[in-house]
Amino acid sequence: MLPNRSKLFRRSALVAVTVAAALLAGAPSTQARVTRIVIDTKVSPAFNGQVFGDAGQYETIAGRVFGEIDPLDHRHRIINDIDLAPKNANGNVEYEATFFLVKPIDMSKASGLLWQDVPNRGGRVTISVDLRQKGDIGLSSGWQGDNSGGTAHGAPGRDYAVVPIAKNPDGSSITGPVMGRILNASGPNSSPIIEHSNPIAYKPITLDTSQAHLESHDHETIDGIVTGVTVIPSSDWAWASCSASNPFPGTPDPTQICLKNGFAPDKVHQVVFIAKDPYVLAVGAAAFRDAASFFRYEKQDDFGTPNPLADRISWVITRGSSQAGTFVRQLIHIGMTQDEANRKVYDGAWPVIAGRRIALNFRFAKPDLVLKLYEAGNEGPLWWHKHPDKVRNLPTRGMLDRCLETNSCPRIVEHAGAAEVWGQKLTLGWLGTNPKDYIPLPENFRRYYFASTPHGGGDGGFDPNPGDIPDCSSNNYGRGTFPENPLPQTQSVNAIRFHFRNWVMKEIPPPDSVYPRIQDMVRPSKRAMGFPDIPAVLASANPGAPNNFIQAMLDYDWGLGLDYSDNKGFHSFEPPIIKQVIPLKVPRVDEDGNEIGGVPVVLLQAPLGTYLGWNVTASGFHKGKVCNYEGGWIPFAKTRAERLANGDPRLSLQERYGDHAGYVAAVKAAAANAAARGFLLEEDRAALIAEAEASSVLNP
């Protein structure tokens, strides 16, 4: 229930006067910010006493920030259920978040640049050696508050947030529907509900299975057509832990499901139940912002504890990879780029291998999910500039709208690869929901595309022999068909990081954006892409791949309780209704099946095979479908005779390069091109050439 309007007006006026007075005094608002920091552990010197260039030795500091936000501040009205969060005596909403600092012991030797890294599912981040050599400071900062698995409160060595639980105005629990899915379980043992990699954060309000709904599915298409649905009677399952030695009904447990007849293999089991006490998860985004603001601007907390970075931070760049990258995009979209003292927090933002905004700001959100069937995260604008969304009948919006209003937009670099195209609907953010032309890029923005690369890039190297077969991403999703894609992003990212520092610190612009031309963007079909008839693909569980293969862009209906533009509110029911399938486009490929366009990567310019941003799931429920987030690699034959014997249309290594010296020459040419265009540092260029020279490619 909203506050009385007259009280709201008086409260807003009071906040405005307080903030104005604080600004005139040269200090932030005394009402809402980080109020206390606690240092739990300090290691000095860290890293075994290693000396990092002129910056010297480093130390690490692990601790917690405690703070509060004004729920009536215009920057926080976007937070779902903020009015239903408990308030302190000041009328503010409180939070706690962990942090981990990596800094020079002697801060006079620091560069002044703070990298605020976003932990992925609680995984603490330490800045790389090259940044320590430059005197940069690292801040791994908690934001995810769902208190499950890797983000469980108190988990050692992890970074997380403690956020409030929303309650009805009378103090009673808020309830709502929650859905969980169990993939490829089998046998008499019970199974937990895993959301990608962590247990589901919500529990049923009752263990009475007649108050929930459980069903199994035999098959689901990429377009969300479900067949072979079997409803499991409430008498045939239990919220319980069970096994062969502890059979049904087992031991009561709200986190697991036990089936009377055991789990049938190669199925999805889908449960919908009523949960209570939703976390106000977007408060974690405010905690993340406030931590950066404190370490950048403040001298001490309210209790006199000094800021260990006081007066030494001139620039802040936030960055995150994969799930953490989707958080960076969400952080910007909801306007958490300006603190309550009206100060710009971020000079740069770097969402890495992320094609969506994280599903964080609605009731009973599940931020661990990754865009499989029925999973949120593509609602509302996924593009930066304002752009119409007539296909979904949504307002003309862009992810920069709020930071533009407050003049707090950072410079942005984004990079992603083929796995994000096939698994994360990346190109929706390039072309919109009516894919006819690119949405113009904003100023102070760079987009870099790594053609044919897997999620986060491969291990690199110049080994002509295939490696291991990967497991598909997501718990128990299945196993791939082709060896892991080794195509790296590492050296290119090293160069981009170099340029990004110079852009923020020295006003030196980085290379222009590089991604496929519009004429090289086509429908995701074999014919439109020009994908060759590679024998290994033809012999796979999906010989027609990549036809009907991409993770489809589904337009969902969760009822009237959701603002679909901001993905804020609540789901009235689960699972959602699929209203329509929105077409996507993908990059065209060359005669080898490698993508056209993108940042010059040496191994792709001197290829040893076909590098795929996708893989075919070999068995299980998802057999023949895209192996979630995993790439694949199909090596070239060594000789013409070998490829002809296999019916392979792709030229062999000998036909391409002649001999080992020819291959090394190709690597040198590719490295020179990448370096000339600004995407390969000199030390990496030399190292790649040496690695190619030492390789076994076409060596006797």
* 408 CB neighbour count, 10 Å cutoff: 20
Backbone dihedral region for residue 559 (phi beyond 0: left; psi -120 to 50: alpha; all else: beta): left
Tokens of 173: 């629990």
∠ CA 643-526-452, rounded to 5°? 75
How far is the C-alpha of 590 from the C-alpha of 530, rounded, in Å? 7
What pairs with residue 426 in β-bridges?
Answer: none
- Average pLDDT on 387-404 reads 98
How far is the C-alpha of 649 from the C-alpha of 656, rounded, in Å? 13
**Would you say 67 and 374 are in contact if contact means Cβ atoms under 8 Å apart?**
no
**Sign, Cα dihedral of 636, 640, 645, 648:** positive
Looking up tokens 């998802």 gives 622
* 588 CB neighbour count, 10 Å cutoff: 18
**Would you say 242 and 250 are in contact if contact means Cβ atoms under 8 Å apart?**
yes
Q: Are strands 348-352 and 411-417 parallel, antiparallel or unpaired?
A: parallel
- Average pLDDT on 607-625 reads 97
Q: Provide CB contacts within 8 A for 319, sequence distance 6+.
A: 115, 116, 117, 118, 325, 328, 349, 350, 351, 352
- Residue 480 pLDDT > 70, yes or no? yes
In this prediction, residue 629 carries a pLDDT of 87
> Mapping DSSP to helix (H, G, I), strand (E, B) and coil, where does residue 610 land?
strand
What pairs with residue 350 in β-bridges?
Answer: 319
Instruction: Compute the 3-state secondary structure of the chain and give helix, strand, coil in percent, each to the nearest 5.
Output: 25, 25, 50
Identify residue 580 by its one-letter amino acid code. Q
Looking at per-residue pLDDT, the higher value among 319 and 628 belongs to 319
Identify residue 2 by its one-letter amino acid code. L
How far is the C-alpha of 40 from the C-alpha of 78, rounded, in Å? 32
Largest Cα–Cα separation, the chain: 85
- Residue 25 pLDDT > 70, yes or no? no
- Average pLDDT on 612-621 reads 97
How far is the C-alpha of 168 from the C-alpha of 451, rounded, in Å? 49
Q: What are the phi and psi torsion angles at 385 (to 5°)? A: -80, 160
Tokens of 6: 């007259």
**Would you say 385 and 406 are in contact if contact means Cβ atoms under 8 Å apart?**
no
- At residue 505 the predicted structure's pLDDT band, cuts being 50, 70 and 90, is very high
How far is the C-alpha of 508 from the C-alpha of 498, rounded, in Å? 11
Burial class (CB in 10 A: 0-12, 13-18, 19+), 178: buried
Eight-state DSSP code of residue 201: S
How far is the C-alpha of 29 from the C-alpha of 299, rounded, in Å? 14
Burial class (CB in 10 A: 0-12, 13-18, 19+), 492: buried
How far is the C-alpha of 480 from the C-alpha of 470, rounded, in Å? 6
Q: Provide CB contacts within 8 A for 20, sequence distance 6+.
A: none
- Average pLDDT on 285-305 reads 98
How far is the C-alpha of 545 from the C-alpha of 628, rounded, in Å? 14
- Average pLDDT on 139-156 reads 96
- Residue 438 pLDDT > 60, yes or no? yes
583 half-sphere exposure, CB direction, 13 A CA radius: 9
H and E: helices and strands count for the chain: 15, 32
What pairs with residue 216 in β-bridges?
Answer: 230, 269
In this prediction, residue 31 carries a pLDDT of 56
Going by C-alpha positions, the residue among 283, 344, 291 that lies closest to residue 117 is 291
3-21 in b/e form (b: 16+ CB < 10 A) is eeeeeeeebeeebeebbee
- Residue 124 pLDDT > 50, yes or no? yes
**H helix intervals, 453-606:** 490-506, 526-529, 535-538, 602-605
Q: What is the pTM assigned to this prediction?
A: 0.94
Eight-state DSSP code of residue 55: G
- Average pLDDT on 271-280 reads 98
**Would you say 497 and 638 are in contact if contact means Cβ atoms under 8 Å apart?**
no
- Residue 24 pLDDT > 50, yes or no? no
- At residue 700 the predicted structure's pLDDT band, cuts being 50, 70 and 90, is confident
What pairs with residue 115 in β-bridges?
Answer: 138, 317
How far is the C-alpha of 218 from the C-alpha of 224, rounded, in Å? 13
How far is the C-alpha of 118 from the C-alpha of 136, rounded, in Å? 16
> Mapping DSSP to helix (H, G, I), strand (E, B) and coil, where does residue 64 land?
strand
Least-confidence region, from 10-24, 460-474, 538-552, 647-661: 10-24
**H helix intervals, 298-442:** 323-333, 401-405, 418-423, 428-431
* 490 CB neighbour count, 10 Å cutoff: 13
- Average pLDDT on 66-91 reads 97
**Sign, Cα dihedral of 128, 130, 133, 137:** negative
How far is the C-alpha of 689 from the C-alpha of 668, rounded, in Å? 6
- Residue 16 pLDDT > 50, yes or no? no
Q: What is the pLDDT of residues 159-213, one digit of tens each?
A: 999 999 999 999 999 999 999 999 999 999 999 999 999 999 999 999 999 999 9
- Average pLDDT on 481-504 reads 98
- Residue 491 pLDDT > 50, yes or no? yes
In this prediction, residue 8 carries a pLDDT of 30
- At residue 32 the predicted structure's pLDDT band, cuts being 50, 70 and 90, is confident
Q: Provide CB contacts within 8 A for 57, sequence distance 6+.
A: 44, 45, 46, 47, 49, 50, 51, 104, 105
How far is the C-alpha of 356 from the C-alpha of 330, rounded, in Å? 8
In this prediction, residue 6 carries a pLDDT of 33
**Would you say 186 and 245 are in contact if contact means Cβ atoms under 8 Å apart?**
no
